[in-house]
Amino acid sequence: MTRKLFCVFLTLGYPSIAATERLILSSEKAGVDIIELGFPFSDPLADGPIIQYSSEQALKKHVSIKDAFALVRRLRRKGSAVPIVFFGYFNPVFSYGGKAFARDAKSSGMDGLIIPDLPPEEELEFQKECRKQKLYFVQLVAPTTLDKRAKMLVGKSQGFVYYVSLRGVTGTRKALPADLKAHLLKLKRMTAKPVLAGFGVSTPEQARAISRMTEGVIVGSAVIKHLKQGVPTAERFILKMSRAVHGA
């Protein structure tokens, strides 16, 4: 059986940059396969109240894109090899400068990008720069995405396909959507790339159930929720979720 992938979302700078660094290193030890490094933004269209809260707290500390690059550079110097994908909105990237962003992201040791408000038809020059730097560009597919568009998105997605498992914004949910399995089966018929499902995954039981339907699981809001109670609490939760996804 192919090993399932477990991806953890962390907000850069929440509760501090030092805490984000510690969590990435401990997540790697816990068997996490991919880190989504969320860049705090004042108007996060896809994020629910938990991640919005973490973004607001990080923004109060004036966290910058340069901090993100410096953090990844430090992690790589420490021997961390876990793939790190920048998750953020296009406005801060545009302000930084597309060409400079792609160059600096790659030289820092980042592996890819997820930009939920950037459709593949837009900012083609920036996407070209990312390809030039060999940065993976991960596309999102939602339950409401029409089949024709879903085929185009999975065709363009690099590394893996991010399936948004529920309608609405991020956040913990008590139950998984009833149509999740049917949507995942349809998506997997469109591509041989790994499909990872995220949004709303809150418990080890949910993570285990999703990992049976797909190639991997993404957990964000539930991690941030535990992080509100302190870094050790979040670390224990990440380890539990990692074991659930990996079938331990």
Q: Check: CB of residue 148 under 8 Å from CB of residue 178.
A: no
Give the number of residues written for the chain. Answer: 248
Q: Which of 33, 36, 111, 215 is catalytic?
A: 36
Question: Does the active-site annotation cover 47?
Answer: yes
Instruction: Give the separation between CA 131 and CA 213, rounded to whole angstroms.
Output: 30
CB 36 within 8 A of CB 113: no
Question: Of residues 21, 33, 47, 129, which has the active-site annotation?
Answer: 47
Burial class, 86, CB count within 10 angstroms (exposed 0-12 / middle 13-18 / buried 19+): buried
Is residue 214 exposed (0-12), middle (13-18) or buried (19+ Cβ within 10 Å)?
buried
- What's the CA gap between 93 and 64, in Å, rounded? 11
Sign of the four-CA dihedral 3, 202, 157, 145: positive
Return d(Cα 62, Cα 24) in angstroms, integer.
21
117 classed as catalytic: no
How big is the CA angle at 143 (ends 138 and 144), to the nearest 5 degrees? 105
DSSP 8-state class, residue 195: E
Rg (CA), the chain: 17
Residues catalogued as catalytic:
36, 47
